Amino acid sequence: MTGDNALLTAIVLLGSSVQWLTGMGFALVAVPALILLLGPTDGVALANCAAGAICVVGLAGGGWRQVRAGAMVPLCVAAACTVPAGTWMTRQLPEPVLLLVMGGLVTVAVLLVMRGARVSALSGRWGAVAAGAAGGFMNSAAGVGGPPVSLYAVNAGWTVREFVPDALFYGVVVNVFSVTANGVPGLSGTKWVSVLAAMAAGGVIGKGLASRIPEKRARLLVLLLALTGGVTTLGKGVWGL
């Protein structure tokens, strides 16, 4: 296994583990590292593919029964409308500026989630539209579409148990649209095998650790890792200007 392949495997393994451990975090943890390793285009495209696959597996395990379809319609429709704009933007910007944008989006998103910010604009049906639109744009542009929906859930007063199946459903929808817009990453067959193996192993590790690590501590670790990645990507963008 080459150095790049080993690093790619480690990134996907970590992202998958924290996703199954906390119910969130694959994109937040993996995207900054994937962007630095594979470049903005392939890094985001791989994150879209992997995150979408994880969400499908989560729903297939029975989560689909708890999805509130009525509540998800405005979120998903709005996301579908803004995904093309995110893809278009990434194709127009030079790489250093793109790294700045992606690093900034991840950093701001993590800080808002860490604060559990309450925003009056993210309430009611129009709040759902705003959150879905922001999430669709961010997912196709930077691979991180979950934070706006998380903030909407906080403002709507959803519990974690209520939020998880809806977040998985939203993740499937927004990543299908994002993969359609961004395409599939140009990885070799060996790297695809490593990615799939890492996702499977990450699921086993994450589920095994879920009963041993307190949820609050695990979520804080995920957010700190994501914040570190976002700031690093931001710094690389500044350095490249």
Task: Give Cα separations from 40 to 70, 76, 202 (angstroms).
Answer: 34, 24, 23
For residue 146, pLDDT over 60 is answered with yes
Tokens of 37: 């390793």
DSSP readout, 79-96?
Answer: HHHHHHHHHHHHHHS-HH
- 49 closest CA partner among 105, 41, 89, 91: 41
For 113-145, the pLDDT digits (tens) are 777 666 666 677 788 898 889 889 988 888 888
Confidence of residue 176 (pLDDT cuts 50, 70, 90): very high
d(C-alpha 160, C-alpha 149), whole Å: 12
For residue 71, pLDDT over 60 is answered with yes
Provide mean pLDDT across the span 170-192.
90
For residue 23, pLDDT over 80 is answered with no
| 20 vs 12, residue with greater confidence | 12
d(C-alpha 217, C-alpha 222), whole Å: 9
Q: Which residue shows structure tokens 């049906």?
A: 125
Q: What pTM was computed for the model?
A: 0.84
For 205-237, the pLDDT digits (tens) are 887 887 777 767 777 777 777 777 778 878 877
d(C-alpha 189, C-alpha 5), whole Å: 11
For residue 82, pLDDT over 70 is answered with yes
